[in-house]
A = this chain, B = another copy of it.
C-alpha cells in the first residue's frame, strides 16, 4: 500500500504547482488533512473563485475582478505615463515601492520567436489604442534578456512609427543597490558603465 486514493489524488494535483515535487506535495496534503473543515472549504472555494472572478483589465491587461483594474480606475494616477511590464507580478513589485504614480500596461508575456510567442500573441493592440489618448511617455520595464530586449526594440520602433510624439524610455540596468562589483556578472557591469552619469 501507499497512500489512500483521495490522498494520492490530491498529491498528484498539488504537483502541478511550480517547484512542488512528491515530497512537498505529500507534506502539503497531510497538512491540509490537519486543517479544520472550514479552513479546508475556504481554501477550495478560494481556488474556484479565483478562476471564476479574475480576468484581465480591458484597458491595461492587469489582473482584475472588474472590467477595469484598480489602477486604471484610480483617477489620481497619472495616465500620461504608461509603464510596460511583462507580467502582473512586475506591477506588484513596482507598486510595493510606492514611488510610481503612472499607469501600467501588462503584456502578459514577451516576444520569443523560439517559443512561438509573436507580437500578436501579446497585449500590444490595446497599448496602441491607448497611445492616442494623451500619453506622453512609455517606460519599457522588461528584463534584460533576449526576449525582454526584443520586446523593448519592437515596441520602441512601433511607437516611433505610429506615435512619434510619445517619448519612449527604458528602465536603467546596472549594479543593484548594495551590490558589489566583484559579485556582479559581466553584462550588469557593462550596462552599469554604459549608463554612467556625470556627478
Contact = CB atoms under 8 A, between A and B. Distances in A.
Given A9-B46, A10-B47, A64 B4 contact: yes
Interface residues of A, number: 53
Interface stretch (A35-43, A161-169, A189-197): A35-43
A61 to B, nearest CB: 13
A29 interface: yes
Count of this chain's copies in the oligomeric assembly: 2
Given A92-B2, A95-B2, A33 B50 contact: yes
Interface of A: 1-7, 9-10, 12-14, 16-19, 26-33, 35, 37, 39-51, 53-54, 63-65, 69-71, 74, 88-89, 92, 95-96
- Tell which of A31, A54, A74, A88 has the most Cβ of chain B within 10 Å: A54
Contacts of A64: 4
A49 B32 CA distance: 11
A13 B32 CA distance: 11
Nearest to A29: B50
Main secondary structure of the interface of A (DSSP, over half): helix
Nearest to A19: B27
Nearest to A5: B65
Given A7-B50, A18-B31, A51-B33, A1 B74 contact: yes
Nearest to A77: B1
B13 A63 contact: no
Contact of A10 (B4, B10, B28, B46): B46
